[in-house]
Structure 1
Amino acid sequence: MEYRFLPHGGDKISVIGLGSGSITGTEQEMVDIINTAIEKGINYFDMAPSVQAPFFAYAKAFAGRREKIITQMHFGAVYKDGKYGWTRELDEIKNQFDWELKLLHTDYTDMGFIHCVDDEEDLAEVMDGGIWDYMKNLKEEGKIRHLGFSSHNPRTARRLIDTGLVDMFMFSINPSYDYQKGDYAIGEVAERAALYRDCESRGIGISVMKPFAGGQLLNDKTSVFKKVLSHAQCFQYALDRPAVMTVLPGVRNMEDLHAVLQFISAAPEEKDYAVIGEFTHQDVDGVCVYCNHCQPCPIGLNVGLINKYYDLALAGDEMAKEHYRKLPIQADACICCGHCESRCPFHVKQEERMERIADYFGKIE
């Protein structure tokens, strides 16, 4: 296993970590997966599963080796009745954090992250509602070693980074979301690239979520490039971005974990992702790649993010459904003005997409 060192604090972090959003099976099966990951050198674990059950498996697997583990806990992810939920209620956040510490027999988390901050309104609630002050106090007490956050939005991320208090944050990075080619490397795409560089210059690390775009890039039928990329190519792509410390793939079972671990021994040619340089915009004609070239929407729809959450939800990402629901303006607000379609370089029929997306999320309320 290769390791990288966090500039602020020097923590030794495995370049491949473990996400918990997809893990399934019996408690013992989950314990076996986590134990195997640790034995193979993985030491960085994201603690925001899609259900509560994995916490109990983590408690067993971490027992007796807490000092070898780096935990990334999320302040805002809660688990009432065993199901994942999202909140900005401070008392609920405090209760969840206390519960996690008690269950894991520890008195601190290595990374304390504000959970999924994607827009200005939400950020204001975090900053003004006591959550950020609470987390800063926990850091002073030693219950959080490093402050951070998770986000899908470069602009919101930059606002938090500019506080000067962040050591690391979680961001979705893969060739699909970072798609850059010719005249279309603009807008949000450029913001993302600048964000990575700025984090590197400030000594802020990035942990990567969605390295396979919710599994889409591993299947030629769902890949926005209409071509398959391998696990190794996606991992190497993310690890080559400035400031990236670790990539956190979600695994469902032991088979998935073994597929992930093959990256450790993969040959350089297996990790080579140069093939993405051959993709042109015609390869993704009619497919939203979340570039936001269609912005600004006259009524404020974040068209790229709405499409991203929809595609992830279709791919089985339960959290994407919750993230969509907290968007301040959702797909059903579309007024079919044609602005986005007239500007889309990939000729996506967004009006039809917005209707389909609104119908989809409406049915799963």
Structure 2
Amino acid sequence: MKYRKIGNTGISASIIGLGTEYLDGEPYSVVEETINSALENGINIFDVFMPGHEVRKNIGKALGKRRKEVIIQGHIGSVDLNQQYDTSRDLNICKRYFENLMKDLGTDYIDIGMLFFIDSDEELKEIHENGIIDYVLNLKEKGIIKAIGASSHNPKIARKVLETGIVDLLMFSINPAFDMTPSNVDVLETVEEFEKQEYISIDPIRNDLYKYCQMQDIALVAMKSFGGGRLLSGEHSPFKKKMSPTQCIHYGLTRPGAVSAMVGCKSSSEVLESIKYLKATSEEKEYINIISNYSEGFKGKCVYCSHCEPCSSGIDIAMVNKYLDIAILDTDNIPPSIIQHYRSLENNGADCTECGSCEKKCPFSVPIIENMKKAEQLLG
């Protein structure tokens, strides 16, 4: 397993995380099997948003004395008042469910306290005005939570949440189909009708959100990596070709700022299927052939697919392009962390020999040689 740092929290998360939603309603034996498999294979970040007592207790029981090995994302605002998944912005209700979460899990702390499902201006207003933000900050001050996170599916609202300056981690819906859907479209409402959307290129507002995460050192966690399973089906995928779990995971992990990809599993076999990513070849990870029919809008833009590699000089071209894309957002105020990350690369733009091999392989005609020069000028 590989691990990436969650911003400046001092916590490192496995690049593949366990989304526990599908354990809800399963018997304890299934929960135990899935949790054990995840831990045995180095998965250390779990998302627990379900409000029901039984699934929370089962997860806590399965973790047992291994609780400290796990980073738990626990959500504030996830409730089941109407006997189904629901959202509340009532402070007292949020407190009760969050305190019950810790009780059910058998723990006195939650690693990342998540502001749950902030998808509209009204919801953002409510968490400010109803005291929820203050409650979360107080939890962090007391050490009851170690860091603050938020979950969202709306890139415009997610950006506003991050601009509050209190969030260490954003869990956001990321896959090629969502990223190529205009930001004014609710991806959750259209998930059943992917094929009816117009796909052009990665939506610039979503792309800027990812760059902002990298620039501000905010950890980005990908959810909905498989698009509700539709991207794994040639029949239901908007691309008319199925993606593999490995390709979906790779797409999420190659976005700027990405730390981990959450994968929903309800068996050991599903966990093992997901971690095949760790030993996958570059050919198995490649997703460009899936979205190639929609590639015109990507012309000249790096999507960090690494199709151009290997580089004869050992340059991680995709990573250099990520840092460059962030640097050119405001060349007068390049974040010091981006400069540091660039200079810490074993090989960077200064090592480019201009052999041209990368540009011949790039499916989107990215001016890679020119980009390497720009990166060195701005960041070297």
Measured against the shorter chain, the TM-score band is 0.7 to 0.9
- Whether contact under 8 Å (2:171, 2:222) holds in the other structure is yes
Q: Distance in 1 between matches of 2:158 and 2:60?
A: 31
Q: Distance in 2 between matches of 1:20 and 1:262?
A: 19
Structure 1 residues 1-365: aligned runs within 5 Å: 1-23=1-23, 25-49=26-50, 51-80=52-81, 83-179=84-180, 184-185=200-201, 189-280=203-294
Q: Distance in 2 between matches of 1:20 and 1:218?
A: 19
Aligned-partner residue type, residue 156 of structure 1: I
User: 1:162 Cα shift?
Assistant: 0.8
* Cα displacement string for residues 63-94 of structure 1 (whole angstroms, at most 9, x for unaligned residues): 11222110001101123486432211111111
Larger radius of gyration: 2
User: 1:60 Cα shift?
Assistant: 1.2
- Whether contact under 8 Å (2:51, 2:78) holds in the other structure is no
Q: Secondary structure at the match of 2:21?
A: coil
- Where in structure 1 are there 5+ consecutive unaligned residues? 283-365
- State the partner residue of 1:343: none
RMSD: 2.2
User: 1:95 Cα shift?
Assistant: 0.8
* Cα displacement string for residues 239-298 of structure 1 (whole angstroms, at most 9, x for unaligned residues): 00001111111113333222212222222211111213412389xxxxxxxxxxxxxxxx
Q: Distance in 1 between matches of 2:52 and 2:141?
A: 30
Aligned-partner residue type, residue 260 of structure 2: T
Q: Distance in 1 between matches of 2:158 and 2:217?
A: 15
Alpha carbons of 1:17 and 1:136: their partners in 2 closer, same or farther (altered >3 Å)? same
With normalisation by structure 1, the TM-score equals 0.72
User: 1:151 Cα shift?
Assistant: 0.4
Alpha carbons of 1:277 and 1:93: their partners in 2 closer, same or farther (altered >3 Å)? same
Q: Distance in 2 between matches of 1:174 and 1:52?
A: 31
- Whether contact under 8 Å (2:51, 2:79) holds in the other structure is no
- Whether contact under 8 Å (1:6, 1:12) holds in the other structure is yes
- State the partner residue of 1:349: none
Q: Secondary structure at the match of 2:179?
A: coil
Alpha carbons of 1:85 and 1:277: their partners in 2 closer, same or farther (altered >3 Å)? closer
Q: Distance in 2 between matches of 1:49 and 1:253?
A: 18
Aligned-partner residue type, residue 230 of structure 1: S
Q: Secondary structure at the match of 2:13?
A: strand
- State the partner residue of 1:344: none
Aligned-partner residue type, residue 7 of structure 1: G
Alpha carbons of 1:269 and 1:78: their partners in 2 closer, same or farther (altered >3 Å)? same
Q: Secondary structure at the match of 2:250?
A: helix
User: 1:22 Cα shift?
Assistant: 1.8
Identity of aligned residues (%): 37
- State the partner residue of 1:339: none
User: 1:134 Cα shift?
Assistant: 0.7
* Cα displacement string for residues 179-236 of structure 1 (whole angstroms, at most 9, x for unaligned residues): 28999337xx110001100110110001111001111100011101111000000101
User: 1:11 Cα shift?
Assistant: 0.9
Q: Secondary structure at the match of 1:248?
A: strand
Aligned-partner residue type, residue 14 of structure 1: S
User: 1:168 Cα shift?
Assistant: 0.4
Aligned-partner residue type, residue 12 of structure 1: S
- Whether contact under 8 Å (1:52, 1:82) holds in the other structure is no
